[in-house]
Amino acid sequence: MFDRPDTAAVRSYLRNLQKRLIQSFLTLDPTAQLIADDWSRPQGGDGCTRVIQGEILEQCGINFSHVQGERLPPSASAQRPELAGRGFEAMGVSLVAHPLNPYVPSSHLNVRFFIAAGEEGEPIWWFGGGFDLTPYYGYEEDVIHWHRTARALCEPFGTDLYPRFKAWCDEYFYIRHRQEPRGVGGIFFDDFAEGGFDHTFAFVRSVGDGYLSAYLPIVERRKDQTYGERERAFQRLRRGRYVEFNLVQDRGTLFGLQSGGRAQSILVSLPPEVSWRYDDRPEPGTLEAELYERFLIVRDWLGE
């Protein structure tokens, strides 16, 4: 008998997760403006785009989408070529937070579910997602807290998951044309259906529910640090790397665009202010140089 997923339960959880994430960030920054944009898709599906803009979060996009289509886009079938051209259903919540203060890292959370039509009526389904951290100024205590929380969320489902998904995150969020990581990693997984639907869905809920316990303590610790134009200029340069990764490599962005998604919702992941400068290199001995030397490298943060 097929292990049939409960798509209604997944949708209900994702909608609730989006609401809880929004409320938590509005509590963090009560002066923030919330932009709400509900939409429907002519090809099938609907979604809710929410954008928070305030004194702490310069821009934070928190999206829910649930779409259907007749042909799975290449970005989604790259790992499963046998499904190319099949009908599909996809839903997920994606969050990208770009704080105003350069000492507060940007962060990303995504949890998503795919189901495609298999042979003889058998549904083929999987989950994907994870979260990663992109600091502009590095603090080891922040990164260790981030990874320690990620490990704690994974361990009830198998002690092998954190090292596997940490390594996958380091590999995935690597800007190949720059030959540098996007940030300090976290966890990332895709095509994940181990242990059956109930087990896998419980793991995905652990990741989604635990994200705030990983990120908010870092925000609280850094949000009141004093900064000036030097720090903002470096933040804008580093945000340029974020843009490059999202537009050139990120499978989620490519899936959204290839499946005919709403560009304004998909591209809300991009920071509001960004810059590029030819051959930008930080001065030796500065905090900016330290980011490259000590943080933008693959490290076993919990084993050192």
Is 135 part of a structural domain of the chain? yes
- Distance CA(45)–CA(116), nearest Å, equals 15
Q: Say if residue 145 carries a ligand binding annotation.
A: no
How many of the other CB atoms lie within 10 Å of CB of 116? 22
The single-letter code of the amino acid at 255 is: F
Is 230 part of a structural domain of the chain? yes
Is 291 part of a structural domain of the chain? yes
Q: Say if residue 107 carries a ligand binding annotation.
A: no
Query: Looking at residue 295, what DSSP letter applies?
Result: I
Q: Which of 66, 108, 145, 199 is catalytic?
A: 108
pLDDT value at position 75?
A: 59
Phi and psi torsions of 256, nearest 5°: -60, -45
Query: pLDDT tens-digit profile of 177-186?
Result: 999 999 999 9
User: Which residues in the chain come in under a pLDDT of 70?
Assistant: 1-2, 71-85, 119-121, 261, 304
Is 52 part of a structural domain of the chain? yes
Query: Looking at residue 228, what DSSP letter applies?
Result: -
Number of domains forming the structure of the chain? 1
SS3 at position 4: coil
pTM: 0.92
pLDDT value at position 74?
A: 63
pLDDT value at position 262?
A: 76
The gap from C-alpha 113 to its chain's centroid, in whole angstroms, comes to 14
Q: Is 108 a catalytic site residue?
A: yes
Is 303 part of a structural domain of the chain? no
39, 50 in Cβ contact below 8 A?
no
154, 163 in Cβ contact below 8 A?
no
Q: Say if residue 66 carries a ligand binding annotation.
A: no
- Which residues span the domain enclosing 33? 7-295
pLDDT value at position 43?
A: 76
Query: pLDDT tens-digit profile of 78-131?
Result: 566 666 667 788 999 999 999 999 999 999 999 999 998 776 667 889 999 999
Is 301 part of a structural domain of the chain? no
Of 132, 139, 294, 287, nearest in space to 221 by CA:
139
CATH number for the domain spanning 130: value is 3.40.1500.10
